[in-house]
Amino acid sequence: MGEGLWRDPFAGGGAPSRFHRVTNYEPVIALFEGYGKDDPTYSAQLSVYVDGEQVIDLAQGMASDALVPVYSSSKGASATVISLLVQRGQIDLDAPVATYWPEFAQAGKGSVTVRQLLSHQAGLLGVDGGFSWDELLAHGPLAERLAAQRPFWVPGQAFMYHALTIGTLADELVRRVDGRTMADAFKEEVARPRQIDVWMGTPESEDLRSVDALPPTAEELTAFLQKSPDALGGGDALGAVALPAGGALDLLATVNEPAFRRVGQPAAGAMASARGLAALYACLRHELNGAPRLLTDETISQMAQIQVAGIELGTGLAARFGVMFQVPCPPRWAFGSVGAFGHDGAGGSLAFCDPKFGVAFGYTVQRLPLPGGMDKRAVELAHAVRSCLSRP
């Protein structure tokens, strides 16, 4: 295990008829296999559900049940917990955050709504003077500083990706409303009842099947930065506020540290298999492993609705966000049809639900792709899946 191609479309012992239309997916399988032929270092997993049934389960270069750091694909798990609390009426997206977290009203933030907070509009992508990895993992110190922070722009007047702090902000909101941490709520309400292989806080018991994320080689990174010297910083000082000292390069190493994995920071600290990521999005609309469907169509439509769209501060790139979820924004994020929602990760992972096609998609890759952004291979695979389903 862990080397070569692993392929078993009938994994789990079910009869072939259980995997409807499975013969239609040969183009997807061929595309996935082709990436390995083109690159002997390619190490990835792919899992796809259609209408609540797993139809593709592939891995090469790593075991099919290996856990990989998925960076910001973690936000999909956090968004699922928020969705559940919205559905239960415990969180009102249009209520001021201070309704649930009174200290948040400091520095003119009393009118900032939950909707603004969780769609990258609140201007809290960092704090004055910066923050450390220790503060991020401890949660409390950074949450207190964010509550006291004056936003970097007038909330609701612009948006910029809150790469790490949105996890802290959402986690504190869950703690205030529910009494549990985001990680505990996810484990108890979502993952454990459905046997979903996504870990927000990875225990020692899972270490033997956990693999490190691999950065580009020094030669690859040097060549890339020579061509694109502003790629890691975006050419805008505001972007540096979003990460601790060391920036993106530090993050590439930090995700492999045991302390980071044990905490499972809700914005970027989850470990998952592609099976787990796909199952996470499948369970939103379908029964899974005996547990009922998690979210209603109404809840999904609220969370997946586009909240902001346009040119993002700091990067100058087009982006669209729902409530914590990414939504398709071609050509930058061309992963699904209208109504799709999910999240990619800096390491190359991608996970999403596309209700129009009944697809729940999970992809992990071990080596960070360059030039960065959403992994084009994941998008190609997603398009190939849709193409198969579009055939008469």
pLDDT at 226 (0 to 100): 60
pLDDT at 227 (0 to 100): 60
Phi and psi of 329, rounded to 5°? Answer: -145, 75
Architecture of domain 5-70+211-234+266-390: 3-Layer(aba) Sandwich (3.40)
Q: What angle do CA 12, 44, 332 make, to 5 degrees?
A: 120
Q: Are 300 and 355 in contact (CB under 8 A)?
A: yes
* pTM of the complete model beyond 0.85: yes
pLDDT at 213 (0 to 100): 95
pLDDT of 4-18, one tens digit each?
343 433 333 332 323
Q: Which residues pair with 360 in a beta bridge?
A: 49, 353
* Mean pLDDT on 328-355: 96
Amino acid at 182: M
Question: Residues of the chain with pLDDT > 90: what percent?
Answer: 81
Phi and psi of 229, rounded to 5°? Answer: -65, -20
- pLDDT band at residue 216 using 50, 70 and 90 as cut-offs: confident
Q: Which residues pair with 56 in a beta bridge?
A: 48
pLDDT of 136-168, one tens digit each?
999 999 999 999 999 999 999 999 999 999 999
> Coil, strand, or helix at residue 390?
helix
Q: Is 94's pLDDT higher than 80?
A: yes
* Mean pLDDT on 102-112: 98
Question: Residues of the chain with pLDDT > 70: what percent?
Answer: 88
pLDDT at 250 (0 to 100): 83
Q: Is 22's pLDDT higher than 50?
A: no
In the chain, where do the E strands start and end?
5-7, 44-50, 53-60, 68-69, 198-199, 271-272, 308-311, 318-321, 341-344, 350-354, 359-365
- pLDDT band at residue 53 using 50, 70 and 90 as cut-offs: very high
Higher pLDDT, 252 or 132: 132
Q: Are 376 and 366 in contact (CB under 8 A)?
A: no
First to last CA, the chain: 37
CA–CA separation, 154 and 253 (whole Å): 33
> Coil, strand, or helix at residue 228?
coil
